[in-house]
Structure 1
Amino acid sequence: MEQKGIDVSKYQGEINWPRVAASGVQFAFVRVGWAGYEGGIDEGRDPYFAQNMRGALDAGLAVGAYVYSYCKTANAARRAAREAAALLAPYRLTMPVAFDMEDAATYKSISKGDNSIIAAAFLDEVRALGYYPMLYTYTSFANSYLDMDALSGYDLWLADYRGYMGIQGADIWQYSSSGRVDGVAGRVDLNIAYKDYPALIGGHGWTADKKEDDGMMQFLEVFGEKNCQCFTGPDVDAVDKSYNNGTLASGTYYPLMADCGTGADGYRWVRVLVGGAERYAAVLDDRCRITGLSAGDAVRAVQAQSAGGDAEEMAQQVKALESANAGLLARASTAETKAEQAQDLADGYLARIKAASAALEG
């Protein structure tokens, strides 16, 4: 089943998203920003990112995101993936998160093999963070600077404006950079998707969807006397000591953002909100479990575990919970607008992820 879509950035300026949707466009990729040589996105964040995410989602489009890369190492690419995930956390994606690798000036001095390792590092990190990864490039760049056999296990979004695809089997084809779409002033990239990504992804952009059953929100409940740790990724060696020396206190509850399934180490991994940032935990039957809480109980649980800290941290944690579960918490809170929640949460996540990245790379 073919679907029509566009990809947008600051270069499209103000977009009338309802008109875009009415024109027959079914999906949109929004640029998060560009990642620098060392992987940081903050300086390169697209000024229209949040506005375009909100607009496209509110218009009912299937939405994905992409990061334009200048990353020169695998570690930089992983950092870019983590920072992108932090910025995307408030939004429900039904299309992939793409690594835009097309800057020949950056990659011509690096070998095909190393360039492919850089791409794979971003894509693997995105997958580990629970999102559906995709590589974006164009035909001549792929032929000159990438080992496409090594990257054949990833979905491919290919730009080729010659009326056909120079690499067969691409999952999305960007066939024009000079399209016209009602609601967009000027030119815009046009795409055809050959996969039904919303059906594959399941409604949240995560590889493993979080559960919301019978009005209950899913939490990781920590109990017992054994040490329950939090991690920067689904890796038992990646203890996140930036939060409480890596320990989740017994008797606390943490909002479940994604069930990442069983890892190569045999543990079941989940992504949870801890201290206002997304961290990982291994579900071990003798110290933690997944449980459901009503909206009211959820707010009280977050408030209770923040009671020993300052008001700012409690407010951040409650705000994160509200943003992630806005529909269920509407009855329990008179919070800020969804747009303000999303932007505030993204900013808070980014700061914490940058700190975690610095600790990991240090």
Structure 2
Amino acid sequence: MGALLASRRARIAAVAVVIALMAWGVASAVGSCSSTAAAARPTSADFVSHQTPDWADLHEEDGRMVYTVDGHVASTAGIDVSEHQGEIDWHAVAGDGIEFAIIRLGWRGAAEGEVREDACYARNLAGAREAGLDVGVYFFSQAIDEEEARAEADFVIEHLKGRELDYPVVYDHEPVEGVEGRADDLSVEQMTANAKAFCDRIDEAGYPAMIYGNAAGLARYSLADLPGYGIWFAEYGATIPSRLGRFSIWQYTDEGEVAGIGRTVDLNIRFPES
């Protein structure tokens, strides 16, 4: 009887060891996946371009700009939208070859300075993500100082509610046509300080940050003092961008037509990482 009990105890101990090893293996696998996911989370540096693309590889196909490397498409097609586009059929958008969307999360009034959420932000974000698009957001700023810029960043972070993003949170500060804006006459130093305050706060929250503008808009910054943040450049009607400096996304028209969107929309191309 004693030998039988000893044998049973040995078998139980062996089973316990096997179970423990299996549990350790599962935990290790989960830990490994979590670590990989964390490493894959985009950063501000992922959207900083360090060299000018070879413009000979940029061309138009069916009304959209495409960048090729060794004869293969290496660019990514995208749009940016706000409440002005109305209701969007995001599955139709995805079916029309669009791969990413940068969605307006909110804006500050140019005259009165009130901060508001875009009326279609939550619906657009959910719809684009559900249709399989990579997503980012932008905020239309009219900050007059660093305190307001940080408040705008906090507004964005609060409304993201911890959601993951594939593309950056973009700082868009520009004059509004026909409106005498509260931030129209800021100095280059103040504009730069505001952009840095916004982007730093976004970056600290774990999201990539980026700066948007056309040639005139970007000239309002000292970009040399913002080296850690990518540039989203806007220029329409050009076959090749006139800007020679660093930028990784080009908004090349505001008159694009995309399935699932009943109005014209901005079209963008993201160049391959250099």
Contact 1:39 1:76 in 2 (8 A): no
Contact 2:113 2:182 in 1 (8 A): no
Unaligned runs of 5+ in 1: 197-362
Q: TM-score, normalised by structure 1?
A: 0.51
Offset of residue 186 of structure 1:
1.2
> Deviation string for 1:73-127 (max 9, x for gaps)?
1011111111101111253211111011122644431111111110111000000
Which of 64, 75, 89 is residue 2 of structure 1 equivalent to?
Answer: 75
Which structure's CA Rg is the greater one?
Answer: 2
| Aligned residue in 2 for 1:153 | 228
| Aligned residue in 1 for 2:98 | 25
Q: 1:39 to 1:171 in 2, by over 3 A?
A: farther
Q: Is 1:114 aligned to residue 187 of structure 2?
A: no
- Local SS of the residue matching 1:135: strand
Which runs of structure 2 are paired with 1:89-238 in the superposition (5 Å)? 89-103=161-175, 105-143=181-219, 145-163=220-238, 164-168=240-244, 169-195=246-272
Contact 2:137 2:168 in 1 (8 A): yes
Q: 1:161 to 1:192 in 2, by over 3 A?
A: same
Aligned-partner Cα distance in 1 for 2:165–2:159: 12
> Deviation string for 1:208-227 (max 9, x for gaps)?
xxxxxxxxxxxxxxxxxxxx
Which of 2, 24, 35 is residue 108 of structure 2 equivalent to?
Answer: 35
Offset of residue 167 of structure 1:
2.4
Aligned-partner Cα distance in 2 for 1:112–1:119: 11
Q: Residue type matched to 1:23 in 2?
A: D
| Aligned residue in 2 for 1:72 | 144
Aligned-partner Cα distance in 2 for 1:90–1:18: 24
Q: Residue type matched to 2:267 in 1?
A: L
Q: Residue type matched to 1:63 in 2?
A: V
| Aligned residue in 2 for 1:81 | 153
Aligned-partner Cα distance in 2 for 1:47–1:39: 17
Offset of residue 148 of structure 1:
2.2
Aligned-partner Cα distance in 1 for 2:101–2:236: 19
Over the matched positions of the two proteins, sequence identity in percent amounts to 36
Matched residues, number: 193
> Deviation string for 1:133-167 (max 9, x for gaps)?
00011112222x22222223310001111313232
Contact 1:139 1:160 in 2 (8 A): yes
Which of 102, 116, 126 is residue 54 of structure 1 equivalent to?
Answer: 126
Aligned-partner Cα distance in 2 for 1:82–1:106: 21
Aligned-partner Cα distance in 1 for 2:228–2:132: 30
Contact 1:32 1:45 in 2 (8 A): yes
Contact 1:53 1:91 in 2 (8 A): no
Q: Over aligned residue pairs, what C-alpha RMSD do you find?
A: 1.8
Which runs of structure 2 are paired with 1:236-251 in the superposition (5 Å)? none
- Local SS of the residue matching 1:165: coil
Contact 1:32 1:65 in 2 (8 A): yes
Offset of residue 40 of structure 1:
6.0
Q: Residue type matched to 2:205 in 1?
A: L
| Aligned residue in 1 for 2:88 | 15
Offset of residue 39 of structure 1:
7.5
Unaligned runs of 5+ in 2: 1-73
Contact 2:157 2:205 in 1 (8 A): yes
